[in-house]
Amino acid sequence: MSDMNEWNRQVIEEFRANDGEVGGMFAGRNLLLLHHTGARSGVERVNPLVYQELGDSVVVFGSKGGAATNPDWFHNLVAHPTASIELKSENRRVIARVASGEERKRIWEAQKAADPGFAEYEAKAKGRQIPVVVLDPA
């Protein structure tokens, strides 16, 4: 866990130092910083996530690299849907909602087409439906 926290810390620092641009596995991708509240702890957490634009909203994906479980940030947003995001140097308040049905399918298929790595995550997840979370303006 501490290795992941350190990795996130480095990505967050690079994001903030370069107006949202980072290298490594996120080079050339849309990246945001999600500020969310811990479901049990109530502590603010920050995670770098790839996003897709959807009108005035943005969408993030609970891929967790294709792991068998959903990421902690997803559980936190379900418990506390009011959150904020950093996009480049802009801060926005958002309300999270989990997409379902045709909306989820449309968004998810578009993400896999734009970034085939997400299709790989889906295959690795072995039946876990990767959450698609819409972050609407608050």
pLDDT of 2 reads 67
61 and 119 Cβ atoms separated by less than 8 Å: no
Q: Which residue range forms the structural domain that includes residue 119?
A: 2-137
17 vs 1, higher pLDDT:
17
- Kindly report the pTM of this predicted structure: 0.94
The domain total for the chain is 1
Confidence category of residue 89, pLDDT binned at 50, 70, 90: confident
CATH code, domain carrying 123: 2.30.110.10
Residue pLDDT, tens place only, 9-30: 999 999 999 999 999 888 889 9
Per DSSP, helices labelled H in 68-116 are 72-79, 101-114
pLDDT digits (tens, 9 = 90+) for 96-120: 999 999 999 999 999 999 999 999 9
pLDDT confidence bin for 62, thresholds 50/70/90: very high
Tokens of 86: 């950093």
Can you tell me the mean pLDDT for 36-42? 96
Residue 58 near residue 68, CB atoms below 8 Å: no
Residue-averaged pLDDT of the chain: 95
